[in-house]
Amino acid sequence: MTNGVILSVLRPDGTADPSLDPGLPGPEMLSLYRTMVLLRAIDEKAVALQRSGRIGFFVPSTGQEACSIGAGHAVREGDWIFPAYRDHGVGLMRGYPLAALVGQILGNSTDATRGRQMPNHWCDRSIRLVSVSSPVATQLPHAVGAAYAAKVRGERVAVLTTFGDGGTSTGDFHAAMNFTGVFRLPVVFFCENNRYAISLPVERQTATGTLAEKAAGYGLPGIRVDGNDVLAVRKAVGDAMSRARAGEGGALIEALTYRLGPHSTSDDPTVYRSEEEVAAWRGKDPIRRFAAFLQGRGLLGDPAAEEAGAREVVRGAVEAAEGAPPVPLSSMFEDVYARIPWHLAEQRDGLLSGRG
């Protein structure tokens, strides 16, 4: 089903291929750009917070902004998002507030999820952004269930689920792709092939030439896209989501990109890849590439000013939330069940009274 072509819109000279340009209005494109810049500013700040011991952990998406922002922009109201932990950009693009994101990272009383999970594990019911889990690709079968529910109800919505190249090795990937094919469900599988699953290169995840060709084994179309080209990602995901909403079934999209930073703040990528390799990909920076295009269209002024502005916004959001009180101790025992059963009430009372 794949024809080997890698969909690309932004050309090396900074112009867009007119036959593939999704034709977004100028202000929309500027909002894509600004969210990419914001995403990178969040990464920089969060890594700094971790390095200074103010948060415990972070998973940056630096280098992959075109993927999550382009995919996030293709999501419409009513669609569902089942993201991986590196895809905060998808939520941001859908309107997940920066303050909520910062609150989740800090895990204090400003966190809507009450400090229940480590950073990068956000969710927001109001935009159908589903709770992130750490084990890889477990969200894929959930996307199938949400798509099935939508189909039963006759809702014309699509479900986007995102994951990395390592995710394609899991049993959950196989189960979800197979169910989607068999039930002809509106699930768009967006795989960000960033070349490494922690330390292991993609060649050690699969013996197939591409990840997209795995789709054929499930009766789904497989599409390859330049993952550092936000307009190409927007087009590929947007087209797949439209087909899904129209009842034409799901798709697997492989976005070719590169993680410029570590897997997480606990990872040292210098032990498994060369500086030359990283430098080569830094030259394909998705933000700079899109900035050049926008400048060529006269839509963007000074990128440095945009970046400085984003840093300031993030700094302000962290400042506003960092001093907030911790989550209350009693909250540990809530939301385990719909109502607190006797054994949790006893354990809570014991802890609170100092007897437990």
Partner 1 sequence: MAELTLIKAINDALATEMARDPSVCVLGEDIGRGGGVFRATEGLSRRFGPERVIDTPLNEVGIVGMAIGMAMSGLRPVAEIEFSDFIYPAFDQIVSEMAKMRYRSAGQFTAAVVLRAPSGGGIRGGHYHSQSPEAYYIHTAGLVVAMPSTPADAKGLLSSAIRGEDPVIFLEPKALYRTVKGEVPPGEHLVPLGVGRIVRSGVDVTLIAWGAMVPVAGKAAAAAAAEGVDVEVIDPRTLWPLDIEMIEGSVKKTGRAVVLHEAPRTCGFGAELSALIQERCFLHLKAPVVRVTGFDTPFPYALEKSYLPDPERTLRAIRASMDF
Catalytic residue selected from 272, 288, 315, 343: 272
Could you tell me which stretch among 15-23, 40-48, 135-143, 229-237 binds partner 1 (CB under 8 A)? 135-143
Q: Which two tokens stand for residue 182?
A: 């068999």
Give residues 110-129 in contact with partner 1 (rule: CB under 8 A): 112-114, 116-117, 121, 123-125
CB of 159 to partner 1, least distance (A): 8
Residue 335 binds partner 1 (CB under 8 A):
yes
The residue from 31, 108, 133, 210 that contacts partner 1 (CB under 8 A) is: 133
Q: Which two tokens stand for residue 68?
A: 């999550």
48: left (phi over 0), alpha (psi -120 to 50) or beta: alpha
Residue 179 binds partner 1 (CB under 8 A):
yes
Residue whose CB is less far from partner 1, 175 or 292: 175
Maximum C-alpha span of the chain: 71
Residue whose CB is less far from partner 1, 93 or 176: 176
Give residues 182-211 in contact with partner 1 (rule: CB under 8 A): 182
Q: What is the 3-state secondary structure (H, E, C) of the chain?
A: CCCCCEECCECCCCCECCCCCCCCCHHHHHHHHHHHHHHHHHHHHHHHHHHCCCCCCCCCCCCCHHHHHHHHHCCCCCCEEECCCCCHHHHHHHCCCHHHHHHHHHCCCCCCCCCCCCCCCCCEHHHCECCCCCCCCCHHHHHHHHHHHHHHHCCCCCEEEEEEHHHHHCHHHHHHHHHHHHHCCCEEEEEEECCEECCEEHHHCCCCCCCHHHHHHHCCCEEEEECCCHHHHHHHHHHHHHHHHCCCCCEEEEEECCCCCCCCCCCCHHHCCCHHHHHHHHCCCHHHHHHHHHHHCCCCCCHHHHHHHHHHHHHHHHHHHHCCCCCCHHHHHCCCCCCCCHHHHHHHHHHHHCCC
Residue 244 binds partner 1 (CB under 8 A):
no
Q: By the 8 A CB rule, do 156 and 189 touch?
A: no
Residue 355 binds partner 1 (CB under 8 A):
no
d(CA 139, CA 212): 19
Could you tell me which stretch among 234-242, 296-304, 316-324, 330-338 binds partner 1 (CB under 8 A)? 330-338
The residue from 42, 47, 144, 188 that contacts partner 1 (CB under 8 A) is: 144
CB of 339 to partner 1, least distance (A): 8
Active site residue 263: yes
* Number of residues located near partner 1, criterion CB under 8 A: 43
Catalytic residue selected from 86, 259, 289, 348: 259
Could you tell me which stretch among 86-94, 146-154, 194-202, 230-238 binds partner 1 (CB under 8 A)? 146-154
CB of 141 to partner 1, least distance (A): 2
The residue from 37, 102, 176, 197 that contacts partner 1 (CB under 8 A) is: 176
Could you tell me which stretch among 6-14, 42-50, 130-138, 205-213 binds partner 1 (CB under 8 A)? 130-138
The residue from 100, 130, 211, 310 that contacts partner 1 (CB under 8 A) is: 130
Least Cα distance to 57 among 124, 99, 118 occurs for: 118
Active site residue 259: yes
Give residues 69-108 in contact with partner 1 (rule: CB under 8 A): 80, 82
Residue whose CB is less far from partner 1, 81 or 223: 81
The footprint of partner 1 (CB under 8 A) covers 80, 82, 112-114, 116-117, 121, 123-125, 130-131, 133, 135, 138, 140-150, 152, 171-172, 174-176, 178-179, 182, 335-338, 341-343
Catalytic residues: 259, 263, 272
